[in-house]
C-alpha cells in the first residue's frame, strides 16, 4: 500500500463514503462537507467536488 498525503487520504475517505452520505444524519464527514440537500447523485458529487477544491485552496494559502 502506498503512503497517502493528508489531502489524498481525505479525498479517499470522502469518495469511499459518498454512497452512504444520504444515510448519515450528523457526523464529522457531514460537518466537513456540509449537509447534502439534493437527492440526485450529480448534485451531491458537485458539492463534494467544490469542498475538495476549497480545501486545496486553503492548503495552498497555508503553505505560502
Please write the tens of the pLDDT for every residue from 11-39: 777 777 766 555 556 666 656 555 554 45
**Residue-by-residue DSSP string for the chain:** -PPPPHHHHHHHHHHHHGGGGGG-SS-HHHHHH-----SSHHHHHHHHHHHHHHHHHHHHHHH-
In a domain, 50, yes or no: yes
In a domain, 56, yes or no: yes
Count of beta carbons in the 10 Å neighbourhood of residue 10: 15
pLDDT for the residue 47: 79
For the chain, the average pLDDT equals 69
In a domain, 44, yes or no: yes
In a domain, 22, yes or no: no
Please write the tens of the pLDDT for every residue from 47-64: 788 888 888 888 888 776
Q: What is the mean pLDDT of residues 3-15?
A: 72
Report how far residue 4's alpha carbon sits from residue 8's, in angstroms, rounded to the nearest whole number. Answer: 6
Counting the structural domains of the chain, the total is: 1
Measured at the alpha carbon of residue 33, what is the angle toward residues 28 and 35, in degrees to the nearest 5?
90
In a domain, 21, yes or no: no
Domain span at 33: 6-16+27-63
pLDDT for the residue 37: 47
pLDDT for the residue 19: 62
Amino acid at each position: 500500500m502506498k503512503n497517502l498525503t493528508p489531502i489524498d487520504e481525505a479525498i479517499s475517505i470522502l469518495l469511499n463514503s459518498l454512497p452512504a452520505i444520504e444515510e448519515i444524519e450528523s457526523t464529522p464527514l457531514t460537518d466537513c462537507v456540509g449537509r447534502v440537500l439534493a437527492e440526485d447523485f450529480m448534485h451531491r458529487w458537485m458539492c463534494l467536488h467544490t469542498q475538495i477544491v476549497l480545501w486545496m485552496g486553503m492548503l495552498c494559502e497555508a503553505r505560502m
